[in-house]
Amino acid sequence: MYHYTDFDRQFIRNRAAQHRDQLERNLAGLLSDDEFRPLRLQNGWYIQRYAPMLRVAVPYGELASAQLRVLARIAREYDQPSKEVFDTAIGAQAAWGTTHLPVGYGHFTTRQNVQFNWIPLARSADVMDLLATVDMHGIQTSGNCIRNITSDELAGIAPDEIADPRPFAEILRQWSTLHPEFAFLPRKFKIAITGATEDRAATRWHDVGLHLVRSEAGDATLGVAPGDLGFRVLVGGGMGRTPVIGTVIREFLPWSQIMNYLEAVVRVYNRWGRRDNMYKARIKILVKAEGQRYIDEVEAEYQQILTVDGAPHTITQAELDRVSASFVPPALVGSARTTTRPVTIPAERQGDYARWIKQNVAAHKDPALRAVTLSFKRLGQAPGDADADQLDTAAALADEFSAGEVRVTHDQNLLLPWVHEADLPALWVAASRAGLARSNVRLLTDMIACPGGDFCALANARSIPIAAAITERYQDMDELHDLGEIDLHISGCINSCGHHHSGHVGILGVDKDGKEWYQVSLGGSDGSALSGAAAAGRVVGPSFGAAEVPGVIEALLDTFRQHRTGRETFIDTLRRVGFDTFKAAANSARLADKHEDLHALPKASGYAKDAQEA
C-alpha cells in the first residue's frame, strides 16, 4: 500500500482543520448554508434525503486494517442520527412500505469508496479529524472534479497482469488532487485503470479508461521499442441517461507521458464541455458529438504541452520507483509458513468449503498465495453494507490472514489479497463464523445495488427492497450454483450508481405518477471475461411494478434453464437464443391484477439539494 509522507499527512490534517473552521462559522451563522455547501461538498459531505452522507475516499480500493477499524468506529459512534431525524425518516419511508432503516453502517460503493448515511453535520469535523489519523479523507469524492481513481481489486497480484497499475493510480491521484485548473469541470470526471489482460475495473464505462499494455511494433520516432510499457487510452465512457462505451483515442502512449496526455484530455473537455445543461455535461456527450474533432484537438493540445510547456508532468523513472516502493509485496510473500493453522473441515461441510474455494478464492501471481473475497451479500443487509462489528471482524481477518490489507471490490465486497493457500481452511472457518463466507461471489445474489430511495435524494425508487426480495427468493445454494455466474445490477435512478446498464440483468427504478416502477434490461456487460465486450443492456418493455420484479427474474431464469446447453452461462444463452425470447418471458410475468401498494414518492425537506454533485 502507498505510505503517506509527512507532507501528505499534514495536507489532510490542514484540510480537516479548514473544514472545522468552516463548519463552526456555518453553525454560528457567519457562513451561510449556500456559502458552506461547495466547501463541504469538496470534502465529501452531502445532504441527502434525511441526513448528511459522507463519502470516504479509498484510492484504488486499498485499505489497511487500521483504517477499517477507524471506519468501524465511525459507524459505531458517529453514524447515529438523532431520534428526531430517524423518526422523521422512518415515518416518511413507511409510506413506501419501508419498516427498517439501518444505522451504524458503512456502505461499499462500485467506485471502491465507503459511504455513511447518518452522521450529523455538526459532528463532521470530528469525523474528518478521526479519518486523518489513519491517512483518510473525503477530498474530491464530490463535485465537478476528478474523482477517486479506481482499479482492479487484483491489482499487483493477478496472474494475467502486464504491470501493476497501482503506482500509476497513486501518481495520478496526487496529480489530480486540488488540481487548480480542474476543480470546476463541466461535470464530475472518473478514471479507472487496469494492468491486466482481463478488464475487471469496467474501464470502458468511465470518462477515462487506462489499460497498461506492451508496445508490439515500437515507434522509433517516439523512442518506443517493441515491448515497452505504455497505456491504451479510452475516453468518453459513461452510464446515466445516455450509456456510452469509451472510445480508444490512443492505442499506445508511453507510460511517462500519461499525466501530460490526461492534462490535454481534461483541458479540452474543460474548454468545450457543456455547462448549460448538466444532463449533457459529461465528457461522453462531447466525445460522441465531436468524434475525431475532439481527438484531434486533444492531440494538438498534447503537442502544445510537450513542445511549448516543456512537458511539465512527465513521470521520471525515479518518481515511478519512489512510488512503486510502496507497493512491494508484504514480507509474508515467499516466506516459509511456520504458523499454518491446522483445521479439519468436517465431512458434512466439505461441499460448502469446495464451493467457497470455487467462487470466493482466486488465483494469485504467487503460487503459494490466494486472493479471497469476503461476501457482503446476504439476507438481512443491503448489498455492500457492513456494520461496525463486521468492519472490525474484516480488519481482524486481514491482520490474521492477509498482512493487514483488504481491497474494496467493484462488486461491493472486500477482498483479502495476501492469503497463504495453507490458511484457506482456517480462514473459511473464521469467515463462516462471521457470516462472510457465503459462496455466492459472481452468482445471482452477489448483486450490485445502490442505496436507492431509502437514503438517496436523487433516487426515484428504492433499490434495497428489490435486492432483498430477490435475495430471499434465491437462498438455496444448490440452485444458485446450478444457475451459475450472473451479473444482476440495480439502480434507484438514471444516475446509474448501481451500474444497471452493464448488468446481464439490469433493474432501474423510475418514478411514474409519483409511484415506484422498475425498468428491466438484458444483455449488458462490464467488459469482463465473463461478460464479453462492454455493452449496454436492452430494455424489455414498459416498466414493472415492484411486486412484479421477483416474478420477472424468475421467468428469465426459468427461460435460461429451458434453453441452456450444458454448463452454459446466462449471458451466453441469452446471446445464443436471442433477446426476443427472454423479452417475451419477462413480459409474461406481468400481473393481470395490478398491485396498488406502490406509494407516492415522498419529497422530504432538502430533496435533491446536492443533485449536481452526486
To the nearest 10 degrees (0 to 180), the angle between helices 65-77 and 388-401 is 170
CATH of the domain at 34: 3.90.480
Contact of 574 with 564, CB cutoff 8 Å = no
Q: What is the pLDDT of residues 516-550, one digit of tens each?
A: 999 999 999 999 999 999 999 999 999 999 999 99
Question: Where does the pLDDT of residue 337 fall: very low under 50, low under 70, confident under 90, or very high at 90 and above?
Answer: low
Q: Indicate whether 613 belongs to any domain.
A: no
pLDDT at 222: 79
Domain count of the chain?
4
Q: Do residues 158 and 278 both lie within one domain?
A: yes
Q: How far apart are CA 238 and CA 245, in angstroms?
A: 7
Are 288 and 421 in the same domain? Answer: no
Instruction: Judge if 279 and 396 occupy the same domain.
Output: no
How many helices (H) and strands (E) are present in the chain, helices listed first? 18, 21
Write the CATH number for 319. 3.30.413.10
* pLDDT computed for residue 604 by the predictor: 34
Please choose, from the candidates 377, 516, 382, 517, the residue with its C-alpha nearest in 3D space to the C-alpha of residue 451. 382
Which is nearest to 452 in space by CA: 436, 463, 467? 463
- Are 181 and 128 in the same domain? no
Instruction: Say yes or no to pLDDT of 602 above 50.
Output: no
DSSP assignments along 511-539, one per residue: EETTEEEEEEEE--B-SSTTT-S-B--EE
| Residue 599 within a domain | no
Q: Residues 197, 236: one domain?
A: yes
Quote the mean pLDDT of the chain.
94
**Chain-centre distance of CA 446, in angstroms?**
14
| Residue 210 to residue 229: CA distance in whole angstroms | 13
453 & 524 share domain: yes
Report in angstroms the alpha-carbon separations of 142 from 10, 200, 260, 604. Answer: 22, 24, 24, 22
Average pLDDT over residues 162-167: 98
- Exposure of 415 in the CB half-sphere (CA atoms within 13 A): 27
Residue range 360-416, pLDDT digits in tens = 999 999 999 999 999 999 999 999 999 999 999 999 999 999 999 999 999 999 999
**217-221, 404-408, 487-491, 585-589: the lowest-pLDDT one:** 217-221
Q: Is the pLDDT of residue 606 over 70?
A: no
Is it the case that residue 514 has pLDDT exceeding 80?
yes
Residue with C-alpha cell 472486500? 414
In sequence order, the β-bridge partners of residue 584 are: none
Kindly state whether residues 31 and 158 are assigned to the same domain. Answer: no
Residues 371 and 514 in one domain: no
* Residues 421 and 389 reside in one and the same domain: yes
- Are residue 455 and residue 375 in the same domain, yes or no? no
Contact, 39 vs 80, CB < 8 A? no
User: Whole domain around residue 93: which residue ranges?
Assistant: 6-132
Distance CA(89)–CA(80), nearest Å, equals 13
Q: What mean pLDDT do residues 248-261 have?
A: 98
Q: Tell which residue, 186, 178, 168, has the closest CA to residue 137.
A: 178
Q: Which of 195, 53, 178 is nearest to 127 (CA)?
A: 53
Is there a domain that residue 306 lies in? Answer: yes
Same-domain status, 384 and 470: no
Residue 466's pLDDT band (boundaries 50, 70, 90)?
Answer: very high
pLDDT at residue 592, as a whole number: 72
Q: Domain for residue 141, yes or no? A: no
Instruction: Summarize pLDDT for 111-128 with one digit per residue, the tens.
Output: 999 999 999 999 999 999
Q: Residue 512: beta bridge partners?
A: 515
- Examine the domain organization and report whether 478 and 561 are in the same domain: yes
Q: Does the pLDDT value for residue 340 go beyond 90?
A: no
The verdict on residue 486 lying in a domain is yes
